[in-house]
């Protein structure tokens, strides 16, 4: 593996949830320890399962891994770090400032930016305090800070003046209010990250177009701030063998992966790249982790369970959810979830099925790839399709905030505001503003909305008065007593159905559960969950895919028993679900399979 050649002291693994960062980090740590090195493995992943992987308890203090000589591990709980961080900032003003002001501060400190910065606050000492890591040759991190967080930490001081003047829009700078005393330590940490002699960044992706696009953005963002020494690992690649080529589903997966790798984004083509094969077993325990990087033979396979196969077959398909949606005759249908889980395709499938049943439907998406609009245009009389350009909407929003909140700021303050407006929250807010223009149509037809904002962003919008309170003030001045704002519509289950989309994998399910908690804090109760791209729900004779299907079951059970009021299981498709006939098959729970090879 090229990313293991002459490794520096620090190795960071970064990528989307569910691509295998933790498994690769653990396997790397074991490999380095096997070479006689002293290794510290550090996890800051909220979905971390390092303790499960090594089958022993690991906490917030360095603990030796009993079964691996020379290896120790440390788990930093980012949620606990964020709670402690919030308490340090909010505690001194609680009881002094009005309760509604304190709640606003707490909400500003409740998002992903706070969690990431708080985690960075915890592990930055590992990069700068030589005494903490003096006994280790390598420190392996299973997550890395984003470029946005690093840029925030590089900005000039004077947070207090900026925060006092920033009265409009959601802000990611709030979490930085408690960092003033540690700026020298952060500067040293950022310098360590940018030093190729000390640090190697490993970008982890799957052989899928969406995850490759995502990792290309991460690569460009990190390279732009000096973190240019990067390696790429394509994880979970299906082996091209006779068995896979003879199976309809496996052969289709092979073609999709080959096409995705052939069209890999240009910025990634020059990176040192490794391919790690898809394993037919859970990556738990030393034999499995050693097999991941090819240092030993394969791990034993678990036996399949016929009972589980029947139980999966009995789960509702997407069509059952459409039955429930259709009963209302109209309304807003919002699909939410992390990138790469298939929201756009599922939104199109739901919209097509509702239109086929005779309902007028408006499908709107902010997906940068407009292929669905091109595929569906004019194909169904009841279906209208629109696409919102996130770049255009975000730039419009940025200019508005700079002309209002930024007009009286000095050079440093304006620099901070401009960085704040490069955060993920900004795009969500800007796109939601555009979505809000079509929400009112849901009173007479179905509006199916793809790529929706998180609950945290919605709460920030509400707290800043960008929508709900602003409209309420205008209505009050004009004497209007009955009105509906977008926020009120989202909170009304009779008007809005929120569908959370996930995959039957540990990290995506945990991320979806966190999203649901965010939405509930915003007063929005998700109507159903959709488990997408399930191998367990598809037909395959390929041994590796059948074993992968078996491993989906615990996550399917977790969604059904602990998270979702309603759930639908959508099988992985042999062919890309583009075009009306394939989208209809998707709703019915079928897979439009090609003819099996002779």
Separation between Cα atoms, residue 123 and residue 157, nearest integer Å = 22
Decide if 201 contacts 227 (C-beta within 8 A): yes
Phi/psi-derived region of residue 523, left when phi > 0, alpha when psi is between -120 and 50, beta in every other case: left
Tokens 């299981």 belong to residue: 569
Q: Number of C-alpha atoms within 13 angstroms, CB side, residue 142?
A: 31
Q: Mean pLDDT of all residues in the chain?
A: 80
How does residue 109 score in pLDDT terms, banded at 50, 70 and 90?
A: confident
Separation between Cα atoms, residue 446 and residue 438, nearest integer Å = 11
SS3 38: coil
Retrieve residue 355's tokens: 């239109």
Decide if 62 contacts 74 (C-beta within 8 A): yes
Q: What is the mean pLDDT of residues 571-591?
A: 84
pLDDT beyond 60 at 116 = yes
SS3 308: helix
Q: What is the mean pLDDT of residues 35-61?
A: 80
pLDDT beyond 60 at 306 = no
Separation between Cα atoms, residue 11 and residue 190, nearest integer Å = 14
How does residue 587 score in pLDDT terms, banded at 50, 70 and 90?
A: very high
Q: What pLDDT does residue 303 have?
A: 47
Q: What pLDDT does residue 546 have?
A: 87
Separation between Cα atoms, residue 521 and residue 107, nearest integer Å = 10
Burial class from Cβ neighbours inside 10 Å (0-12, 13-18, 19+) for residue 598 reads: exposed
* Domain annotation for the chain: domains and CATH numbers: 2-296 (3.40.50.300), 309-389+447-457+486-588 (3.40.50.300)
Q: What pLDDT does residue 164 have?
A: 43
Entry pTM: 0.77
Question: Strands across the sheet with 496-503, in order?
Answer: 383-387, 361-365, 446-450, 331-336, 496-503, 528-534, 567-571
Note the pLDDT tens digit of each residue in 148-180. Answer: 566 655 654 433 344 444 444 445 555 555 555
Q: What pLDDT does residue 448 have?
A: 95
How does residue 460 score in pLDDT terms, banded at 50, 70 and 90?
A: low
Decide if 285 contacts 55 (C-beta within 8 A): yes
DSSP classification of residue 97? B
Q: What pLDDT does residue 159 have?
A: 38
Decide if 230 contacts 203 (C-beta within 8 A): yes
Retrieve residue 32's tokens: 């380095």
How does residue 305 score in pLDDT terms, banded at 50, 70 and 90?
A: low
Note the pLDDT tens digit of each residue in 395-405. Answer: 988 888 888 87
Tokens 């980012």 belong to residue: 78
pLDDT beyond 70 at 285 = yes
pLDDT beyond 90 at 232 = yes
pLDDT beyond 90 at 357 = yes
Output b/e per residue, 231-250; b: 16+ Cβ within 10 A: bbbbbbbbeeeeebeebbbb
pLDDT beyond 80 at 577 = yes
Radius of gyration of the chain (CA): 24
pLDDT beyond 60 at 32 = yes
Q: Mention every residue, 6+ apart, whose C-beta is less than 8 A from residue 63.
A: 56, 57, 72, 73, 74
Decide if 142 contacts 25 (C-beta within 8 A): yes
Nearest to 293 by CA among 56, 79, 35, 57: 35
Note the pLDDT tens digit of each residue in 308-339. Answer: 555 665 789 999 999 999 999 999 999 998 87
H or E element that contains 115: helix 112-128
Q: Which of 55-64, 475-484, 489-498 is modeled with the greatest confidence?
A: 489-498
Q: What pLDDT does residue 112 have?
A: 65
Q: What pLDDT does residue 371 have?
A: 58
Active site residues: 18, 20-23, 45, 507
| DSSP codes of every residue in 334-403 | EEE--TTS-HHHHHHHHHHHHHHTT--EEEEE--S-THHHHHHTTT-TTEEEEE--HHHHHHHHHHHHHH
Q: What pLDDT does residue 149 have?
A: 64
pLDDT beyond 50 at 447 = yes
First to last CA, the chain: 36
Q: Which residue has the higher pLDDT, 481 or 513?
A: 513
Q: What is the mean pLDDT of residues 492-498?
A: 92
Nearest to 340 by CA among 426, 449, 214, 253: 214
pLDDT beyond 70 at 302 = no
Q: Mention every residue, 6+ apart, whose C-beta is less than 8 A from residue 361.
A: 351, 354, 355, 382, 383, 384, 445, 446, 447, 448
């Amino acid at each position: 593996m090229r990313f293991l050649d002459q490794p520096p002291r620090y190795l960071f693994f970064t990528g989307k949830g569910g691509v295998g960062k933790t498994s690769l980090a653990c396997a790397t740590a074991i490999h380095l320890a096997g070479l006689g090195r002293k290794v510290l493995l550090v996890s800051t992943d909220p979905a971390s399962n390092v303790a499960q992987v090594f089958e022993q308890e690991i906490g917030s203090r360095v603990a030796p891994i009993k079964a691996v000589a020379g290896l120790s591990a440390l788990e930093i709980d980012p949620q606990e770090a964020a709670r402690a961080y919030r308490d340090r900032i909010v505690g001194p003003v609680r009881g002094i400032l009005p309760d509604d002001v304190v709640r606003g501060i707490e909400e500003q400190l409740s998002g992903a930016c706070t969690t990431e910065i708080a985690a960075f606050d915890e592990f930055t000492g590992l990069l700068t305090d030589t005494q903490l890591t003096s006994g280790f040759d390598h420190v392996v991190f299973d997550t890395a800070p984003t470029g946005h967080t690093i840029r925030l930490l590089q900005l000039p001081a004077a947070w207090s003046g900026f925060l006092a003047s920033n009265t409009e829009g959601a802000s990611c700078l709030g979490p930085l209010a408690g960092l003033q005393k540690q700026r020298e330590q952060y500067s040293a940490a950022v310098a360590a990250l940018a030093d190729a002699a000390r640090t190697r960044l490993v970008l982890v992706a799957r052989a899928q177009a969406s995850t490759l696009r995502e990792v290309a953005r991460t690569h460009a963002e990190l390279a732009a701030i000096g973190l240019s020494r990067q390696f790429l690992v394509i994880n979970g690649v299906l082996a091209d063998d006779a068995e896979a080529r003879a199976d309809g589903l496996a052969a289709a997966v092979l073609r999709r992966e080959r096409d995705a790798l052939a069209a890999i984004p240009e910025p990634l083509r020059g990176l040192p790249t490794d391919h790690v094969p898809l394993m037919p077993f859970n990556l738990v325990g030393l034999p499995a982790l050693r097999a991941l990087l090819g240092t030993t033979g394969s791990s034993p396979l678990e036996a399949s369970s016929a009972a589980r196969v029947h139980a999966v077959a009995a789960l509702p398909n997407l069509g059952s959810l459409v039955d429930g949606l259709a009963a209302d005759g109209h309304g807003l249908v919002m699909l939410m979830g992390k990138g790469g889980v298939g929201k756009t395709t599922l939104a199109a499938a739901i919209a097509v099925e509702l239109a086929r049943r005779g309902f007028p439907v408006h499908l709107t998406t902010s997906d940068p790839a407009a292929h669905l609009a091109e595929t569906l245009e004019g194909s169904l009389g009841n279906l209208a399709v629109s696409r919102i350009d996130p770049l255009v909407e975000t730039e419009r929003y940025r200019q508005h905030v700079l002309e209002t909140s930024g007009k009286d700021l000095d050079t440093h303050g304006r620099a901070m505001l401009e960085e704040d407006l490069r955060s993920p929250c900004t795009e969500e807010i800007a796109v939601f503003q555009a979505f809000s223009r079509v929400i009112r149509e849901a009173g007479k037809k179905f509006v199916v909305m793809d790529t929706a904002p998180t609950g945290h962003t919605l709460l920030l919008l509400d707290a800043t008065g960008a929508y709900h309170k602003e409209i309420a003030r205008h209505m009050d001045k004009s004497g209007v007593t009955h009105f509906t704002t977008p926020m009120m519509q989202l909170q009304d289950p009779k008007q809005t159905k929120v569908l959370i989309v996930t995959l039957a994998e540990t990290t995506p399910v945990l991320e979806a559960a966190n999203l649901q908690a965010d939405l509930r804090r915003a007063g929005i109760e998700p109507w159903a969950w959709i488990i997408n791209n399930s191998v367990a729900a598809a037909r395959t004779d390929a041994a590796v895919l059948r074993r992968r299907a078996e491993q989906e079951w615990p996550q399917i059970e977790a969604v059904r028993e602990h998270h979702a009021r309603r759930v639908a299981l959508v099988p992985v498709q042999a062919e890309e679900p583009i075009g009306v006939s394939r989208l209809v098959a998707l709703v019915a729970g079928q897979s439009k399979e090609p003819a099996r090879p002779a």
